[in-house]
Structures are given as C-alpha cells and as structure tokens.
Amino acid sequence: MPERANLEALVLAEAEVASEHVLLASTARWDGSFAASWLQRCGIDPVALRQRVVEFTEGGQLPAPPPAATRVPPASLRLLLLKG
C-alpha cells in the first residue's frame, strides 16, 4: 500500500504522501479491492470518490456533498437503545 500511495502522490505531482494519496491508492483497483467493494455496498461510487479527491488535491472547488442518509437501526438494536 505505501508504494501505491507514493505513486498516487507522484502522479499528482505532490512532494509528500498524505491521507488523500492513501485513499486514492486503496481505491485504485476496481477489480474487487476491499475498499472499492465496501464503498459500493455503502452506495458510494469509487470512481466518483476518486474524482472528488483528485479535484480536492488540485485545489479545485468541490461541490457540496449530498445530504447524509439517515439510517434506522434494526428493530433489535432499537429495543436495546430504548431500554438503555
């Protein structure tokens, strides 16, 4: 992973590796990487995420993020929360 983060920083002409380069490196493989699969299961498009990160690192203006979805816990968890 560190080597891929270094490559992402190099591609973006950054002198130092930062968290955004690690994120880019962890989502670089669309052929079943854990990070890309997890993002897709959460309804996040890995390609769109990478594009937003690249725009951020290049100093561009990012659009406002979409509103966060409110998740309702399962009934069994709601019961535990109400009892507590």
User: Higher-confidence residue: 78 or 37?
Assistant: 37
The yes-or-no verdict on residue 79 having pLDDT over 70 is no
19-71 pLDDT tens trace: 888 888 888 765 567 888 888 888 888 888 888 888 888 777 766 776 776 66
Gap between the Cα atoms of 29 and 8, Å rounded: 12
Residue 33: C-alpha distances to residues 17, 27, 37, 46 (Å): 21, 7, 6, 11
Gap between the Cα atoms of 5 and 68, Å rounded: 28
Q: What is the pLDDT of residue 39?
A: 83
| Residue 83: DSSP 8-state | H
Structural contact between residues 21 and 2, judged by C-beta atoms closer than 8 angstroms: no
The yes-or-no verdict on residue 8 having pLDDT over 70 is yes
Q: Residue ranges of the domains in the chain? A: 2-57
Q: What is the pTM of this model?
A: 0.57
